[in-house]
Chain A
Amino acid sequence: MSAILDLAAQNLLSPVILCFALGLAAALARSDLSFPEAIAKGMSLYLLFAIGFKGGVSVAAHGVDLGLALAVLAGITLSLGLPFIAFSLLRTLSPGVSVLDAAAVAGHYGSISIVTFVAMSALLTGQGLEAEGYMIAVAAAMEAPAIVAALWLVSRKGGESRVGGELWREILLNGSIVLLMGAFVIGWVTGEDGMVEIAPFIVTPFKGVLCLFLLDMGLVAGRGLRSARGVITPGIAVFGVVMPLIGAALGLGAGFVLGLSTGGVAALTALAASASYIAVPAAMRVALPRANPALYLTLSLGITFPFNLTLGLPLYVALARVVTGG
């Protein structure tokens, strides 16, 4: 227990988390601190490229085995299954939430937050641990199935969704996925030689950029919380903390059964515990325009993301150490 508390304290006092806290506090205090959209977008592109490339290099170094296919399959299964749990839990904790809103929220919790994954990778590196490189592919594979599950939930309950070419383009070809997987493939093809060439760009500045990006995420989360005070009821807030723990438990179990390394189990746990706030909100605006964006964006970005970032990630690393003995 003391190990978990030590890791949590160490995590809370890291520059990455303190930057997020600064952004959150600045937004809640109505400071005019802000990042231009282009800079925020540029930082997210950098982080996606760096994390994808590193994953590809890792796969090139360690080779491809059955573990990759099984981990991707487990990720897809989690992504398809978690929305059903999220839907039922949210409707139980807050019966006033409509079917449409509950399904939209459920889609977010089946999908993943790549920034949470990046933060977990940084935490693991600080702990001397490393996840399997192919966890990048698992992360990418977990984006879309949850959206399909959410739309199925809506249709099962008699609701309408707009499923068409635009939605599939949004799901499968959104910029985040294309860049993440593209960088992964480039890293895989070029291997360690490629890494040596661009390491000064994607390794050394990585944590500094992550700090600034999380400062911006804190600002966005704080602004969302401020403007959505009437939307989040106590039951919904409880959901925002309990659901990631349920996802984490399933991700932890799946990682253990797959025989992943300690870092790999922690990464899969973080993926299953996280909720999307980039890819799925965009898909939901296309497919379920009547669902309330203030609800799902505030839940995933204003409650679950800060919870995972501050308390969840160290907890998941500690649990991964316990189950793997690492």
Chain B
Amino acid sequence: MQMHDAKRVEIIIEAIMERQISTALTQVGVTGFTILPVLGGSGRSGHWTREGGVGRASGMIAVICLVAPPRLDSLLKGIFPLLDEHIGVVSVSDTQVLRAERF
């Protein structure tokens, strides 16, 4: 099976930023991404958990997108202004995909 190189960008960010991060991704041409709920965790800003919370102020989400390597830089530049001051982590890893034309 023919595989193609791609980049997997994982953004863990405050749930309150969901709409803005989706818009920013769409604006840089990344229309395919997945948003996952985050059960809980711990970081520089302390612990967080989804349990029991009724507001969105302390929840986190994970946004995952796969892009072709040449598009990585524009993606990161597009989302950086949103990530600059907010709690979260961005990681980029190498991956492979089956249908390159989709990314």
Contacts and interface: CB of A to CB of B under 8 A. Distances in A.
A complexed with B:
yes
Contacts of A110: none
A286 B16 contact: yes
A44 B54 contact: yes
Contact of A285 (B14, B47, B54): B14
B14 to A, nearest CB: 6
Contacts of A40: 51-54
Interface in B1-43: 14, 16-17, 19-20
A80 B57 CA distance: 22
Contacts of B85: 289-290
Interface residues of B, number: 22
16 contacts: A34-B49, A37-B50, A37-B53, A40-B54, A41-B54, A43-B54, A216-B52, A216-B54, A227-B47, A281-B58, A282-B56, A285-B57, A289-B85, A290-B85, A293-B57, A293-B87
Nearest to A231: B46
A293 B52 contact: no
A166 B19 contact: yes
A279 interface: yes
A289 B58 CA distance: 12
Given A166-B19, A170-B16, A285-B14, A36 B51 contact: yes
Contacts of B50: 37
B55 interface: yes
A285 B19 CA distance: 13
Contacts, number: 65
Nearest to A278: B55
B51 A37 contact: yes
Nearest to B59: A37
Interface of A: 34-37, 40-41, 43-44, 166, 170, 216, 219-220, 223, 227-228, 277-279, 281-282, 284-286, 289-290, 293-294, 297
B57 A220 contact: no
Contacts of B47: 223, 227
Interface of B: 14, 16-17, 19-20, 45-47, 49-59, 85-87
A215 B17 CA distance: 28
B51 A277 contact: no
A284 B57 contact: yes
Contacts of A279: 55
Contact of A281 (B20, B51, B52, B55): B55
Given A170-B16, A286-B16, A220 B46 contact: no
Contacts of A277: 55
A219 B49 CA distance: 12
A34 B51 contact: yes
Given A166-B20, A170-B16, A289-B85, A282 B46 contact: no
Nearest to A41: B54
User: Which of B16, B20, B55 has most A Cβ within 10 Å?
Assistant: B55
- List the 10 closest pairs (A to B, CB-CB), nearest first: A281-B57, A278-B55, A289-B85, A34-B51, A44-B54, A37-B50, A282-B57, A35-B52, A285-B16, A216-B52
Nearest to A285: B16
Given A37-B50, A282-B16, A289 B86 contact: yes
Contacts of A286: 16-17
User: Which of A41, A220, A285 has most B Cβ within 10 Å?
Assistant: A285
Nearest to A27: B52
